[in-house]
């Protein structure tokens, strides 16, 4: 967790204090006129295309098997992530989040997004850097808030208290999607318990970035089959067979990892693989400041046709 101190500003003239007071009152009035949420579900890449092997655990044994992490080929400097101006509330976090991530610590920093931003679980597993009136926090996207408008965030209590006092209830915030958060998390998976040879579903966590594509093939070789992502964040396909399978996971920036020996066995399975490297992938940093945008229906959800480094906040 990296914290960015927020500079305190001092105003020296009485008329300016009065103007700010009127603006604050008007802002509160606007928020109060919004309908209260009926329910919120509780829940670097490498600089070249060089391939490196890492060891993962087979789903059926403790024998190490090979997985491959593949970096994108681009070396261009990334564009700054769009910064969204919005609002945040807090909610009582519990298990059963919309992204289906299992075993999340109850005191973690989590965020739920509006239905238009959440899409079909598009931003699950990504992180938001959020700045508030009293501090900042990096929160994992794990949930959907059906009653939130675009730009409104639901934060776990632990995350909200990094930004404002709980007594505030609502906090003005600015947030952006994080690219390649460090340290790179470990990729894990679990097969949905009701999977069969006729219908197979798998959930990946620890990607760091939003995922763009998941494909599987028989471990003995064969053609890759692309899976379809559901709103519960599971990727599924019909008629895959009984396995075992190899899986190819790709994030929105083109980072890839292959995981071998996946069976129907239940339970969360760490792989030892990471989708991107801790080494900075770009030789030159971005020199332009990120734009500040108003909330829109796609303020933070990744696009399936483009990566987040070039995503814009638009309908």
With 0-12 CB in 10 A as exposed, 13-18 as middle and 19+ as buried, what is 146? middle
In tens, the pLDDT along 219-232 reads 988 999 999 999 99
Backbone torsions φ then ψ of 261, nearest 5 degrees: 75, 35
Model confidence at 307, pLDDT cuts 50, 70, 90, reads very low
Query: Per-residue pLDDT for 8 more than 60?
Result: no
Q: Bridge-partner residues for 156, per DSSP?
A: 91
pLDDT at 275: 93
Confidence of residue 13 (pLDDT cuts 50, 70, 90): very low
Q: Residue 67: pLDDT band by 50, 70, 90 thresholds?
A: low
Contact yes or no for 212/252 (Cβ under 8 A): yes
Instruction: Kindly list the structural domains of the chain, giving each domain's residue range(s) and its CATH number in brackets, ordered by start.
Output: 14-41+82-178+285-310 (2.40.40.10), 51-74+184-270 (2.60.40.760)
Beta strands in the chain (DSSP E): 51-57, 64-70, 83-91, 110-114, 127-131, 136-145, 152-156, 171-177, 188-191, 199-205, 211-218, 225-226, 228-229, 235-238, 245-251, 256-262, 269-270, 292-293
- Residue 19 in 3-state DSSP? helix
Helix (H, G, I), strand (E, B) or coil at 48: coil
pLDDT digits (tens, 9 = 90+) for 181-201: 999 999 999 999 999 999 999
Q: Please state the pTM of the whole predicted model.
A: 0.68
pLDDT for the residue 93? 83
The DSSP code for 188 is E
Residue 16, pLDDT score? 36
To 5 degrees, how large is the angle CA 21–CA 25–CA 26?
A: 115
Task: Output the average pLDDT for the chain.
Answer: 73
**In Å, how far from its chain's centre is CA 258?**
20
DSSP state of 25: H
- Could you tell me the pLDDT band of residue 300, with boundaries at 50, 70 and 90? very low
The residue with greater pLDDT, 60 or 241, is 241
Does the pLDDT at position 22 exceed 70?
A: no
Q: Where do we find the tokens 């501090």?
A: 135
Structure tokens at 71: 């970096």
Residues 6+ apart with CB under 8 A from 167: none
Residue 80: predicted pLDDT? 58
54: tokens are 């890492």
Please identify which residue in the block is written with the tokens 């971005």: 286
- Is 48 in contact with 239 (CB distance < 8 Å)? no
Give the pLDDT confidence of 126-176 residue by residue, as tens digits. 999 999 999 999 999 999 999 899 999 999 999 999 999 999 999 999 999
The CA distances from residue 197 to 170, 231, 233, 237, 270, in Å, are 48, 22, 20, 10, 23
More confident residue, 71 or 135: 135
According to the model, what pLDDT value does residue 295 have? 52
Assess contact for 148 and 112: CB atoms under 8 A.
yes
Mean predicted confidence (pLDDT) in 57-83: 46
Q: What percent of the chain has pLDDT over 70?
A: 62
User: 244-281: per-residue pLDDT in tens?
Assistant: 999 999 999 999 999 999 999 989 999 999 999 865 44
> What's the number of CA atoms in the CB half-sphere (13 Å) around residue 244?
14
Give one word for 26, left, alpha or beta, with left for phi > 0 and alpha for psi -120 to 50. alpha
Least confident of 63-77, 106-120, 212-226: 63-77
Q: Which residue in 111, 110, 91, 101 sits closest to 40, CA to CA?
A: 91
For 102-141, give one letter per residue: b (16+ CB within 10 A) or e.
Answer: eebeeeebbbbbbbbbbbebbbbbbbbbbbbeeebbbbbb
56 token code pair: 């993962």
With tokens 């990892």, the residue in question is: 257
Task: Pick the range with the lowest mean pLDDT from 16-20, 45-49, 109-113.
Answer: 45-49
């Amino acid at each position: 967790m990296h914290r960015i101190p927020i500079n305190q500003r001092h105003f020296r003239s009485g008329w300016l204090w009065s103007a700010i007071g009127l603006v604050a009152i008007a802002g509160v009035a606007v928020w109060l006129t919004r309908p209260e949420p009926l329910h919120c579900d509780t829940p670097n890449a490498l600089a070249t295309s060089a391939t490196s092997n890492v060891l993962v655990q087979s789903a059926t044994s403790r024998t190490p098997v090979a997985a491959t992490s593949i970096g994108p080929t681009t070396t261009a400097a990334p564009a700054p992530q769009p910064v969204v101006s919005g609002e945040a509330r807090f909610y009582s976090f519990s298990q059963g989040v919309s992204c289906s991530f299992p075993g999340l610590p109850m005191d973690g920093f989590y965020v739920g997004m509006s239905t238009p931003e959440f899409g079909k679980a598009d931003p699950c597993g990504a992180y938001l850097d959020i700045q508030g009136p009293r501090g900042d926090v990096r929160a994992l996207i794990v949930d959907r808030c059906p009653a939130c408008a675009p730009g409104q965030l639901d934060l776990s209590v632990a995350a909200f208290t990094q930004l404002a006092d709980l007594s505030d209830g609502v906090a003005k915030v600015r947030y952006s999607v994080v690219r390649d958060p460090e340290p790179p998390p470990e990729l894990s998976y679990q097969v949905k318990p009701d999977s069969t040879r006729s219908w197979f579903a798998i959930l990946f966590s620890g990607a760091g970035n939003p995922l763009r594509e998941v494909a599987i093939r028989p471990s003995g070789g064969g053609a890759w089959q692309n899976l379809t992502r559901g709103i519960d964040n599971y990727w599924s396909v019909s008629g895959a067979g009984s396995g075992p399978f190899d899986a190819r996971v790709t994030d929105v920036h083109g980072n890839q990892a292959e995981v071998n020996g996946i069976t129907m066995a239940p339970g969360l399975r760490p792989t030892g693989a990471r989708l991107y490297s801790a080494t900075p992938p770009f030789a030159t940093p971005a020199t332009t400041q990120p734009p500040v945008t108003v909330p829109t229906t796609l303020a933070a959800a990744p696009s399936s046709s483009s990566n987040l480094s070039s995503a814009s906040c638009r309908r």
